[in-house]
């Protein structure tokens, strides 16, 4: 079980400095300890060089944000650098479009790789030369078995693998075949180059892993130059060493690959082909988040099926989607800090991420008024044709942001849910005979309502007390519990508002967990970190295995109500919002002026997150 240091990270007070993630001293974690030790012992001469190595085969998601904050963060804290390296060893799946989007997302999160933008394909020549060197040392051979034969002879966890009949090929023959592989003489799959390590190793990765395969496919950067491509395990460690990476941080599934990582680099360093000290690999638990899926394959499926409106749909857990949703880089940094890093897999509840966004937005977003579900309110004793200005602060904790005028008049819009003809006990808003404050304006008393033939309320009637205007002497003399927002009907403007909710309706989309289906209210689900627990809790079961996600189709768990588009009334100041600007619509939540569709005179807002967890909100007053 992991106890993430996030438990001890103090929560910044609302309205604290914007960069709340870095404002408080960061809690330590095992990676920070390792890096600090290596600096103290001068292992790398004080250098700290990390890298973020995305495969350019899709858009970055929330999980990548964790890795980015970790790698760039560790480097920044130690006056080091973090390289952006595209792991582009798979010629057929990769694309320049993805590369640019990846760079944009890293930059958006606020990180900078300086001149250190690299591609694994930059090293194809070196990798090839090193492969010839391995052959020359008798440490690699060309295997001419079929893929199925190679697989079948690999053995199992309890059984040693069987040597390939080609394992003892003479060096000269291996070299000749490998060169001919390169010149394109053989079809895909005819041969592979394998390292000669140990077919009886208890670690399957050490049983003569393949390091080159034939692939007659053009590469988006090297074109037709190559028809053989190096495999990940071979490429990654050498790329790290060539870039003089010090700490190579990856997710837990690579733990069993570490002996191979070290074997390749040690051999090359012993042979004088690489400089010491060599980089070292460390593993951390990947981010698993409830109510979304974080796998490129599934994200691609959602886009191609049309379940979402593209990669940057605000419901998508991609970073381009997050940005359009109004999530902030600072919120992600706060999140990364709060969840910490651990060495065992865990699930984080989506509400932890949402809370981080709320905290950041609470500090930065100006307040505005919007009525999302309007009903008309008429103040019978307010003179017709009169307008006065009420003043609302732009931010309750930041007076330096000033205030703006809200026109007040006889006819207003209020929220439909702020009036009830027959209220339940404890309802403090408007109902016949009841009093409530119109925020920043007057106390009104409800005198009745008008309904249409179907029984729907069309107008609420009130009278106001002229002596209760907010900000005037004696305004607070009379106490009322309800405090409602409103807009002058003659001044309000229309805006398109997109109410986004979670993409999936259940915490573990598609999950039929090994210990039972997560039925409503049942305890048979993995423990999930919640804002209350405040930290990651390990899932029962295998260290590096997430709950078995099989059997059910995750697509059946999509939330049918994840997007609702409405036309809302907004105060005039909302029209001045810049594209991408976040505001708080009072009592509703945080909204952002849509990056694509918002335009002057045609406001379009996306709901980023409600003020509180909607499940809480439903239960509350
Ligand atoms: P996916 O499984 O979604 O395809 P990936 O691991 O293949 O993701 P890469 O582009 O290879 O994606 O990952 C780039 C870096 O981001 C790697 O170092 C990887 O460990 C890290 N990463 C990917 N997913 C997560 C995650 N959920 N949590 C933390 N780090 C992640
Ligand atoms: Mg990958």
The protein residue whose alpha carbon is closest to atom 18 in ligand 1 is 250
What integer pLDDT is reported at residue 8 of this predicted model? 28
SS3 194: strand
pLDDT, one tens digit per residue, over 570-583 is 999 999 999 999 99
Whether residue 63 has its Cβ less than 6 Å from ligand 1: yes
* Ligand 1 neighbour 294 (Cβ under 6 A): yes
Peptide bond into 186 cis (omega under 30): no
Q: Is 179 helix (H, G, I), strand (E, B) or coil?
A: helix
Extended beta strands in 156-302, E state: 192-195, 210-214, 228-230, 247-251, 280-284, 287-289
Residue 215 CB-density burial (10 A; 0-12 exposed, 13-18 middle, 19+ buried): middle
Distance CA 285, CA 270 (A): 32
Q: How far is the CA of 92 from the centre of ligand 1 (A)?
A: 19
d(CA 546, CA 132): 39
Kindly state the average pLDDT of the residues 229-250.
98
**Closest residue by Cα to residue 178 from 221, 129, 216:** 129
pLDDT at 522: 38
Please count the residues of the chain. Answer: 621
Query: Among 67, 82, 255, 281, which residue has the most ligand 1 atoms within 8 Å of its CB, making it the best to mutate?
Result: 67
Give helix 329-339 / helix 350-364 axis angle, nearest 10°: 130
The mean per-residue pLDDT over the stretch 344-351 comes to: 90
Quick one: DSSP state of residue 256?
A: G
Q: What is the rounded average pLDDT of the residues 516-521?
A: 43
Helix (H) or strand (E) holding 358: helix 350-364
Pocket test for ligand 1, best of 31, 64, 233 (most atoms within 8 A of CB): 64
Number of helices and strands in the chain (H, E):
14, 29
Q: How far apart, in Å, are the Cα atoms of 317 and each of 217, 432, 549, 591?
A: 31, 45, 18, 17
Contact of 67 with 31, CB cutoff 8 Å: no
Contact criterion met (CB below 8 Å) for 617 and 610: yes
Nearest CA to ligand 1 atom 1: 295
How far is ligand 2, taken at its centre, from the CA of residue 303, in Å?
19
Average of per-residue pLDDT values in the chain: 89
Å from CA of 65 to ligand 2 middle: 14
**168-173 average pLDDT score:** 98
Strand 346-348 relative to strand 287-289, pairing: parallel
* Cα angle 112-117-122, degrees, rounded to a multiple of 5: 170
CA distance 352 to 6: 11
Measured between alpha carbons, how far is 422 from 432 in angstroms, rounded to an integer?
8
Whether 295 is in the pocket of ligand 1, judged by its Cβ within 6 Å, is yes
Any ligand 1 atom below 6 A from CB of 56:
no
What's the angle, vertex CA 582, arms to CA 581 and CA 585, rounded to 5?
A: 135
What local confidence, expressed as pLDDT, does residue 534 receive? 33
Task: Report pLDDT for 527.
Answer: 55
List CB contacts of 270: < 8 A, sequence separation 6 or more: none
Report whether pLDDT(528) > 80.
Answer: no
> Residue 136: pLDDT above 80?
yes
Strand segments, DSSP code E, in 268-334 are 280-284, 287-289
Ranking 87-96, 249-258, 568-577, 608-617 by mean pLDDT, the lowest is: 608-617
Tokens for 498, please give them: 């997109």
Protein residue closest via CA to atom 9 of ligand 1: 54
Does 51 sit in the ligand 1 pocket, CB within 6 Å?
A: no
Distance separating alpha carbons of residues 359 and 21, to the nearest angstrom: 10
Q: What is the pLDDT of residues 263-316, one digit of tens each?
A: 999 999 999 999 999 999 999 999 999 999 999 999 999 999 999 999 999 999
Q: Grade residue 59 by pLDDT with cuts at 50, 70 and 90.
A: very high
Q: Are 235 and 120 in contact (CB under 8 A)?
A: yes
Q: How confident is the model at residue 24 (pLDDT cuts 50, 70, 90)?
A: low
Average pLDDT of the segment spanning 445-467:
97
Closest by CA to 91, choosing from 52, 133, 124, is 124
Is there an atom of ligand 1 within 6 Å of 66 CB? yes
Nearest CA to ligand 1 atom 2: 295
Question: Is the confidence at residue 456, as pLDDT, over 70?
Answer: yes
User: What pairs with residue 607 in β-bridges?
Assistant: 591
Name the residue with tokens 């053009």: 218
The model's pTM is 0.89
Calculate how far, in angstroms, residue 55's C-alpha sits from the geometric centre of ligand 2. 6
**pLDDT, average across residues 220-243:** 96
The reply to whether ligand 1 has any atom less than 6 angstroms from the CB of 53 is: yes
Q: What is the DSSP code string of 371-396? A: ESSEEEEEETTSPTT--EEEEEES-T
H or E segment to which residue 263 belongs: helix 258-270
> Using CA atoms, how far apart are residues 191 and 211, in angstroms rounded to an integer?
11
The widest CA-to-CA distance across the chain, in whole angstroms, is 103
Mean pLDDT of 7-24: 38
> From CA 33, how far away is CA 29, in angstroms rounded?
6
Q: Per-residue pLDDT tens for 408-454?
A: 999 999 999 999 999 999 999 999 999 999 999 999 999 999 999 99
Ligand 1 centroid to Cα of residue 59, in Å, is 11
């Amino acid at each position: 079980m992991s106890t993430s240091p996030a438990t001890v990270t103090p929560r910044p007070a609302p309205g604290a400095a914007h960069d709340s993630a870095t404002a408080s001293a960061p809690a330590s974690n095992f990676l920070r300890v390792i890096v600090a030790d290596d600096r103290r012992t001068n292992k790398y001469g004080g250098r700290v060089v990390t890298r973020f190595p995305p495969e350019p085969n899709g858009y970055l998601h929330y999980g990548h944000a964790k890795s980015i904050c970790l790698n760039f963060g560790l480097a920044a804290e130690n006056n080091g650098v973090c390289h952006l390296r595209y792991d582009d060893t798979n010629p057929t799946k990769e694309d320049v479009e993805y590369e640019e989007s990846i760079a944009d997302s890293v930059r958006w999160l606020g990180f900078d790789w300086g001149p250190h933008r690299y591609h694994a394909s930059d090293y194809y020549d070196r990798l090839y030369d090193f492969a010839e060197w391995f052959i020359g040392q008798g440490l690699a051979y060309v295997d001419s078995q079929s893929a199925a034969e190679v697989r079948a002879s690999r053995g199992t966890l309890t059984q040693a693998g069987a040597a390939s009949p080609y394992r003892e090929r003479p060096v000269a023959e291996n070299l000749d075949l490998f060169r001919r592989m390169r010149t394109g003489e053989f079809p895909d799959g005819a041969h592979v180059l394998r390292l000669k390590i140990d077919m009886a190793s208890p670690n399957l990765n050490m049983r003569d892993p393949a390091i080159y395969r034939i692939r007659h496919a053009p590469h988006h950067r090297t074109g037709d130059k190559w028809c053989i491509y190096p495999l990940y395990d071979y490429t990654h460690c050498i790329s790290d060493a060539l870039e003089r990476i010090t700490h190579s941080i990856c997710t837990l599934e690579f733990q069993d690959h570490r002996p191979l990582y070290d074997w390749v680099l040690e051999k090359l360093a012993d042979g004088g082909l690489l400089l010491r000290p060599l980089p070292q690999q460390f593993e951390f638990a990947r981010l698993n988040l409830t109510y979304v899926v974080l796998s490129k394959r599934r994200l691609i499926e959602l886009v191609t099926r049309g379940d979402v409106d593209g990669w940057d749909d605000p419901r998508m857990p991609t970073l381009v989607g997050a940005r359009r949703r109004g999530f902030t880089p600072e919120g992600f940094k706060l999140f990364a800090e709060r969840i910490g890093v651990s060495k065992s897999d865990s699930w984080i509840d989506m509400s932890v991420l949402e809370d981080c966004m709320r905290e950041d937005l609470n500090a930065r977003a100006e307040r505005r008024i919007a009525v999302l579900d309007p009903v008309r309110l008429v103040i019978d004793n307010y003179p017709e044709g009169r307008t006065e200005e009420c003043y609302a602060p732009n931010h309750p904790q930041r007076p330096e942001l000033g205030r703006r005028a809200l026109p007040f008049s006889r006819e207003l819009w209020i929220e439909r849910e702020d009036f009830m003809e027959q209220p339940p006990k404890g309802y403090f808003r408007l109902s016949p005979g009841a009093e409530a404050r119109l925020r920043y304006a007057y106390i009104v008393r409800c005198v009745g309502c008008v309904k249409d033939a179907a029984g729907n309320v069309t107008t609420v009637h009130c009278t106001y007390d002229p002596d209760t205007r907010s900000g005037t002497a004696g305004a607070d003399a009379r106490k009322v519990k309800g405090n409602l927002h409103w807009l002058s009907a003659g001044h309000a403007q229309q805006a398109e508002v997109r109410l986004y909710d979670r993409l999936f309706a259940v915490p573990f989309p598609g999950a039929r967990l090994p210990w039972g289906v997560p039925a409503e209210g049942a305890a048979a689900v993995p423990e999930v970190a919640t804002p209350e627990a405040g930290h990651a809790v390990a899932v029962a079961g295998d260290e590096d295995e997430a709950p078995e996600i099989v059997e059910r189709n995750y697509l059946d768990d999509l939330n049918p109500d994840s997007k609702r588009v409405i036309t809302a009334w907004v105060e005039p100041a909302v029209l001045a919002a810049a594209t991408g600007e976040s505001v708080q619509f009072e009592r509703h939540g945080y909204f952002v002026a849509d990056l694509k569709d918002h335009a002057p005179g045609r406001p379009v807002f996306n709901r980023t997150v409600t003020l509180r967890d909607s499940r809480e909100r439903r239960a509350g007053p």
